[in-house]
Amino acid sequence: MAWTKQIPANPVVAVAGATGAVGREFLEVLHDLDFPAAEVKALASARSAGKKLPFKGCGQVPAGELVVEEMTPASFEGVDIALFSAGAGVSKEMREAVVAAGAVMIDNSSAFRMEEDVPLVVPEVNPEDVKWHSGVIANPNCSTIQMVVALKPLYDITPIKRVVVSTYQAASGAGAAAMDELYTQTKEFLEGKDLNIDAFAHQIAFNVIPHIDVFMDDDSTKEEWKMVVETKKIMHDDDLAVSATCVRVPVLRCHGESLNVEFEGAITPGQARVALEDAPGVVVMDDTDNKLYPMPGLLAGTNETFVGRLRKDPSVENGLALWVVADQIRKGAALNAVQIAQLLLP
């Protein structure tokens, strides 16, 4: 059923999962974009109720503190936009209540991404898809988001046949406990102590782990599967072939991706560079003479998708290779969701 309710110019916004890493980032992004909210509600589990979160303010909401409320189905009465980052189970549990209250759920989990009636949106790529939502809009996987932002301006030159992507994903993509484990293990390693391994399947300090999420029947991981199916949906191209290998690296924040892209028609690195430089949300950082290229350790907290090492891929007739970096908590999660919310404004 098509959504008919008009979002007001100054909507009431609920942040579900406000005490988590992405939830806190939602609050930062709402401030940074000066989202025109009439009110911002911070929601979380019962154990977080009563906590106070600093908020720099946005729209009609002054700077100060937000008192966290326990999230229940009744929490969404009077809410216009609900930004969710509380896990797939909570999103599924609260979906009916959110939609029944007349709010639009923008969900950061994997709960609804591949449902036919749920748009999967990256505003720089397929903003028009928000028009057919029925109360829920999904935020794609973080690694998918930055890849399609870089691919879209190239696809517009000539359609893409195939993408081979290897990811270099930061520890924070696995949550706050994973970041803590990287810190702790690094200290233990340097002190010659036994390493505490809990958040990851293996040691993460001074190591890389070619395993993110669960393994599937074809021996790919669910993270890799997400990149394949989500890219097809966002790009509106079921024939686009994607092969992904997703790897966790000992970086705190920002994912890197190595892309080899095969196109249907001819495309030069020069053409690609011009298209990327003109593309919204993209920064070309590519000056090899001066050793300039995107690096995760230097780009934490940024909003853009950074592209470098742009060159011809000589292994195929019409191929390019490039390197892409983005902050997966900002563009890969909170920023993308708030940008979707902006698309809903009158």
3-state secondary structure 240-268: CEEEEEEEECCCCCCEEEEEEEEECCCCC
DSSP 120: B
Smallest CA-to-CA distance from 119 within 214, 14, 236 is with: 236
Considering the candidates 133, 246, 254, 255, report the single residue annotated as catalytic.
255
Known active-site residue 255: yes
Contact 18, 27 (CB under 8 A): yes
Smallest CA-to-CA distance from 270 within 157, 149, 165 is with: 157
Smallest CA-to-CA distance from 84 within 137, 154, 133, 11 is with: 137
Q: What is the pTM of this model?
A: 0.96
CA atoms of 231 and 35, how far apart (whole Å): 28
Considering the candidates 58, 142, 246, 254, report the single residue annotated as catalytic.
142
First to last CA, the chain: 21
Six token digits for residue 179: 């970041």
Six token digits for residue 191: 């002190």
pLDDT per residue of the chain (346 residues) written in tens, 0 to 9: 668 789 999 999 999 999 999 999 999 999 999 999 999 999 999 999 999 999 999 999 999 999 999 999 999 999 999 999 999 999 999 999 999 999 999 999 999 999 999 999 999 999 999 999 999 999 999 999 999 999 999 999 999 999 999 999 999 999 889 999 999 999 999 999 999 999 999 999 999 999 999 999 999 999 999 999 999 999 999 999 999 999 999 999 999 999 999 999 999 999 999 999 999 999 999 999 999 999 999 999 999 999 999 999 999 999 999 999 999 999 999 999 999 999 999 9
Known active-site residue 236: no
CA atoms of 35 and 80, how far apart (whole Å): 13
DSSP 61: B
Contact 111, 38 (CB under 8 A): no
Contact 110, 88 (CB under 8 A): yes
Smallest CA-to-CA distance from 257 within 158, 346, 141, 118 is with: 141
The 3-state DSSP class for residue 301 equals coil
Helix (H) or strand (E) holding 71: none
Angle, in degrees to the nearest 10, between helices 269-278 and 142-155: 120
Q: Which residue in the block uniquely carries the two structure tokens 């036994």?
A: 194
CA atoms of 275 and 269, how far apart (whole Å): 10
Residues 6+ apart with CB under 8 A from 309: 286, 288, 293, 321, 322, 323
Q: Which domains does the chain have, with CATH numbers?
A: 12-111 (3.40.50.720), 144-328 (3.30.360.10)
Dihedral of CA 146/150/152/155: which sign?
negative
Contact 39, 13 (CB under 8 A): yes
Neighbouring CB atoms inside 10 A of 199's CB total: 18
Measured CA distances, 340 to 34, 44, 149, 335, 344 (Å): 14, 22, 14, 9, 7
